[in-house]
Amino acid sequence: MSLASSETAVNALPPRVVYMFLAKFDAKEGYKMAWSSHKGPEYEGLECKALPSGVHEYAATNIYLAHECQDRLYYGTARFRQQNLNPEGGLDRELVKMYSLGILVEPLKGEHWKPHEFSAMGWEHLGSLDAALQQYMNTGDMASISLLYLALSGAALLPEVSRSAAVSNADHPFCKLPLILLTVGPLIFPLFKAALLRKNILIFNHSSQGTAKLVQETCLRGPAACGALAYILSLISVIPRNVQFDFLSRDSDTSMLFSRPLYTVGLQDMGTNFLAHYPGFIANTSDEILKYQKQLYDYAVVMPSSDYDTCQVFSSSNLSEPVKATYNDYGKFLKVYRNLPQNTDARRLSMADDQASIGTLSSIFSAIRNAYFGEGKENKLYSEPAWWFSAATSPMSWREYIWLAFAWFASAGTTEREAGKADLDGEESAEGNSLRSELLQLTSIVGQFHKLTKKWFFIIEEIISETMPADAHPNEKFTLELTPQDIVDMELDPYSQQDLTFVREFVLEYWGSTIDEIEIGLGLHNFFC
């Protein structure tokens, strides 16, 4: 798969900056705008987004922004840094300087693939923003910031700001895919399904480092990781262009085609209709109190609060019981994860953490696991974190356990369950450590999610076309009957209530004008097929 074929290229021209600001957190005055390229009430609240709760635990980090201004949505980014001017052992909070230098960019115009809009937030300028911010914090001179704004906005005929392609591309949220997969593990699949159903997803960045030592980049949590997760969930859940049905008209309501990332949100957005304007949003926040505003979201993603914590997902209807991946999801995830580039930060973090490098192949479940997924070297992830299986994956149902026992004995231990052999292998990993090779591998992984989406649409559409009465009235709705084999063909688990519920919601979400009820038959004969 070429880079262009999945349309995730990260080398497009950077968008023009339309607004730049310097936000400051003061121990006495709180959040304030220290400087902005132009004034106006329409920019209120940006200082809070650029300095989210808990950011004081980070030495430096990137923050992705979305801001509504005059009925238009602008994307942007900010670079945060803090500087401790206290002498050794000093604790004077007034001597800790915290700033964010941020920008909003011009929205993309013309016809474009939607994920390009989501990533057009000025990530290419993060290196320049960081340099200008450091110079200001060291000297107090605004000249570097003012000149940068003139250059990036085109307000003056100044030389183009130089940038290193390799460094800038690493700042693209797409390039954080390996880190995100390591952080959320198999939970990426229930989140992918929720996003495809256009559920509202709120990502919570817990701030409880519990130590005076500042968190350094790269880390498994924080504003940058949460923003990247919002982007990646939007990217993998977009409906591919080659899925074209009447009910997915690109000229009418486009909200069915994608989940929009709103990036950093907080308490300052609660008094507005910002979230309500974008149903099916994916956003991140550091304000934990929003977890109890359950009307705001459908699913909460709780990111790790420390290097030894794990990610969890909750439904707003049940905050006491975490959502888990199915056993089938777990198998798909292993095959996705093994295709990651070998020299990424995620690989290094996974290998370096002793607690995270406990593989599950040596566990008591290994015999069942190998019977389900096959016993090939491609399934052996020696640095696989134990929590992926023990805490993030639902146990196998008794129905499936019995089925596996029958299948194993009937085949003398040689049969693999076809539903577990997920068609997510993709292409062989590209050789070499070049940036292009890594991007090709990451693009291939995104393409695998799109391939799965395409399969689900075409299977359901084909079944509906074959079963719909020829003389059906255009406004008449009917019941769709599915078999366990249909679920298997969709690479889902017919024994999982979670997957059966997903199929029902998926059909009603996209074919609700035609289908009003879904029946999925499960009989004992399926144990022996």
Reported as a single tens digit per residue, the pLDDT across 403-416 is 555 555 554 444 44
Choose between 29 and 360: higher pLDDT.
29
3-state secondary structure of 312: strand
Helix, strand, coil shares of the chain, percent, nearest 5, are 40, 15, 40
Confirm if 285 and 203 have CB atoms less than 8 A apart.
yes
Reported as a single tens digit per residue, the pLDDT across 447-506 is 999 999 999 999 999 999 888 877 777 778 889 999 999 999 999 999 899 999 999 999
**Residue 460: per-residue pLDDT:** 96
Average pLDDT over residues 29-43: 89
- Of the pLDDT bands very low, low, confident and very high (cuts 50, 70, 90), residue 440 is confident
Choose between 345 and 259: higher pLDDT.
259
3-state secondary structure of 62: strand
- Whether residue 433 is predicted with pLDDT greater than 60 in this model: the reply is no
Among 23-27, 153-157, 361-365, top mean pLDDT goes to 23-27
Average pLDDT over residues 288-303: 95
Q: How far, in Å, are 20, 123, 153, 388 from residue 317 at the CA level?
A: 40, 36, 45, 24
Nearest to 389, CA basis, from 312, 335, 325, 311: 325
**Residue 477: per-residue pLDDT:** 87
Reported as a single tens digit per residue, the pLDDT across 158-216 is 555 544 433 457 789 999 999 999 999 999 999 999 999 999 999 999 765 555 678 87
Reported as a single tens digit per residue, the pLDDT across 225-283 is 999 999 999 999 999 988 887 776 655 567 889 999 999 999 989 888 899 999 999 99
**Residue 356: per-residue pLDDT:** 39
Q: Sort strands 17-26 and 30-36 into parallel, antiparallel or unpaired.
A: antiparallel
Confirm if 488 and 500 have CB atoms less than 8 A apart.
no
Nearest to 21, CA basis, from 74, 59, 96: 74
3-state secondary structure of 310: coil
- Which H, E and C letters describe 328-389, residue by residue? HHHHHHHHHHCCCCCCCHHHHHHHHCCHHHCCCCCCCCHHHHHHHHCCCHHHCCCCCCCHHH
Average pLDDT over residues 359-387: 53
DSSP 8-state assignment for residue 253: -
Percent of the chain residues past pLDDT 90, beyond the cut: 51
**Residue 428: per-residue pLDDT:** 47
Average pLDDT over residues 494-520: 93
Tokens representing 251 are: 């000229």
Tokens representing 331 are: 């198998």
> Is 138 buried (19+), middle (13-18) or exposed (0-12) by CB count in 10 A?
exposed
Average pLDDT over residues 46-62: 92
477 vs 511: CA distance, rounded Å: 10
**Averaged pLDDT of the chain:** 81
311 vs 365: CA distance, rounded Å: 22
The domain spans of the chain are 17-323, 336-437, 442-527
491 vs 489: CA distance, rounded Å: 5
Angle between helices 435-467 and 177-184 (to 10 degrees): 60
CB environment 459-472: b (16+ within 10 A), e (fewer): bbeebeeeeeeeee
Nearest to 304, CA basis, from 363, 391, 383: 391
3-state secondary structure of 293: coil
353 vs 384: CA distance, rounded Å: 11
Other Cβ atoms within 10 Å of 99 Cβ, number: 22
H-helix or E-strand spanning residue 211: none
Choose between 10 and 86: higher pLDDT.
86
Straight-line distance from the first to the last Cα atom of the chain, in angstroms, rounded to the nearest whole number:
35
**Residue 9: per-residue pLDDT:** 45
Q: What is the number of residues in the chain? A: 529
**Residue 404: per-residue pLDDT:** 59
Choose between 71 and 296: higher pLDDT.
296
**Residue 355: per-residue pLDDT:** 41
**Residue 405: per-residue pLDDT:** 59
Choose between 423 and 94: higher pLDDT.
94
- 237-416-342-178 Cα dihedral, nearest 10 degrees: 20
